[in-house]
Amino acid sequence: MMSLPVDATAILLAAGLGTRMKSALPKALHPLAGRPMLRHLLDSCAAVFSGCVVVAGPDMPALEQAVSPWPVVIQRQRLGTAHAARQAVPLFGDGDVAVLYADNPLVTPATLRRLLEARRSPGTDLALLAMRPTDPARYGRLVTAPDGPGGEIVRRIVESADATPAERAIGLCNAGALCAEAGRLAGWLERVRNDNAAGEYYLTDIVALAAAEGAVVRAVEAPEAELRGINSRAELALAEAEIQHRLRQAAMADGATLIAPETVFLSADTVLGPDVTVHPHVVFGPGVIVGVGAEIRAFSHLEGAVVGARALIGPYARLRPGTVVGEAAHVGNFVELKATDLGPGAKANHLAYLGDASIGAGSNVGAGTITCNYDGAAKHRTRIGEGVFVGSNTTLVAPVELGDGAFVAAGSVVTEAVPAEALAFGRARQDTKPGGGAVLRARLKRAATRETV
C-alpha cells in the first residue's frame, strides 16, 4: 500500500436541511449509535486526511459546535452540491481534495484510503466511489469504457430518470464522493453550470467536464452498506442497524461475550473489556466503560458510567451519568444509580435509588433505600463509609453522612450524621393494640353496609 499524502483535505457537505426527515434538527446531526452522523464521517476522514472542512448552511450553530475544532464554511444559498463544494475552495490547500456527503456516514477509513490511493495512482485525474446496490432505481449509473486489460474508465454519470433502458441495466452506480487534485477540482467546480430544471449546480457534472477534457476518471467500488445515503427516518434506521452490526462484531472480536448480539445496542464510544458478558436486551448509551470480566445482565440501561472489573449489573438496572461502580460491586434488579460512586465489593441488590452518593467498599444497601438528594432547589450528596449496613426501606435525607461500619435499622429516615460503628434508628415507635384488628374490621364492615343501603 502506498503512503498517503500529508496534504490531503476532505470537504464534507452538510448544509442540507433533510426535509424528508420532517425534523427541525439538521439532517447531519441526527444520531447514529449515540453520535451525530456527521461525526462518524468526520472521524473516518480524520483517520485518512490531514484536514477536514465542513460546509454548513446558514443558521446552523448546533452543527458548527458539533464539528469543532474542524473549520466550517457557510453556504448562504442552497444552490446545489457543486455550489456547496465551491464555498470551500479557499481551504482546499495544494494537495488532493475529496468531497463527501454528510448523509453518507458509514464509509470506512479503509474505503477512503482506497479512494485517495486511486487518485494518486499513475494516470488517474479523478477518482470516485461507486457501488452495486440491490435496488439501483434512484441512483445515477456510471457509463464506462474499456481502458486496457481488465480496466475501465468512467465517461459520464447518467441519472436514472434520464437513462435509456440499456443504461438503466448498468449495475455500477454513483455513490457521490469524489477526489481530485485541488487546482483541477477548483477549476471544474467553477465550470459547472446550472442549466437544469432545478437551476442548481450539481457535483456529478464534474465527471463529464473532466472526461470531456481528456482527464482519466476511475471508480472505486465499495459495499452498498457503506455508501447508502440517509434521507429519511427509514433510511436512518437501516444505517443504525448497520452500525450496530459493526459495533457488535468489533466488541466480540475484542473479547466480549454478547449472548444475543442482535438485542444489544451499543454507542460509538462504548468500551467493553475482555471477558465482559452482556446478556440480552442491554442498552449502552454514550460514555460507558466496562472493565474486565464484568457481567451486565438483561434489560439494563447504562449511560455515562464506568463499571469496574468483575462487577455485576442487573438485571433491570439503570446506571445514569456520573456513576462509577467499583471492582466486584453488585447493582441488582430495579436499582438506579446517578452520579454515584459504589465502592469495591459494595452491594445494592434490590429496588433502590442512589443519587449523588458516595458508598464505601464493602457496604450493603438494602431493598427500598433511597437517597433524597434534591430539596426542590439544589442537589445534595450522601456519603456512606466502608462496611456500612443500610437496612431495607431506609430514606437518607441529604446532605448526610454515615461513618465506617455504621448500622442503620430498616425503615429509618436518616436526617443527621451517623458516627462510625454507631447503630441508628430513625423510625416511629410501633404501637400494638391487642384485639384492635377485629374491632377495626367490624367498624369498617358496618360503614360499608350503611353506604350500600
Alpha-carbon distance of 186 to 192, in angstroms, equals 10
CA gap 29, 234 in Å, rounded: 16
Active-site entry in 30, 245, 281, 350: 350
Q: Give CB contacts under 8 A, 24+ apart, made by 412-416.
A: none
Query: At a CB cut-off of 8 Å and minimum separation 6, what does 47 contact?
Result: 109, 112
Greatest Cα-to-Cα distance within the chain, rounded to the nearest angstrom: 105
* In contact, 57 and 23? CB cutoff 8 Å: no
Under 8 Å between Cβ of 221 and 172: yes
C-alpha cell at 29: 446531526
Query: Rounded to an integer, what distance in angstroms lies between the CA atom of residue 335 and that of residue 348?
Result: 7
d(CA 71, CA 60): 14
DSSP label at 386? T
CA atoms in the 13 A half-sphere facing the CB of 163: 22
Residue 288's nearest CA partner among 314, 324, 326 is 324
Q: Which amino acid is residue 335, in one-letter code?
A: V
Q: What angle do CA 56, 60, 61 make, to 5 degrees?
A: 115
Concatenating the DSSP letter of every residue in 152-201 gives: EEEEEEE-GGG--HHHHT---EEEEEEEEEHHHHHHHHHH----STT---
Please answer whether residues 378 and 403 qualify as being in contact, where contact means their C-beta atoms are separated by less than 8 angstroms: no
Is residue 301 among the annotated active site residues? Answer: no
Burial class of residue 150, CB neighbours in 10 A (0-12, 13-18, 19+): exposed
**In angstroms, rounded to a whole number, what is the distance separating the alpha carbons of residues 200 and 267?**
37
List the beta bridge partners of residue 312: 295, 330
**Which is nearest to 73 in space by CA: 14, 155, 144?**
14
Give CA separation, 31 vs 56, 65, 230, 416, in Å. Answer: 17, 15, 11, 45
Question: Where in the sequence numbering do the catalytic residues fall?
Answer: 350
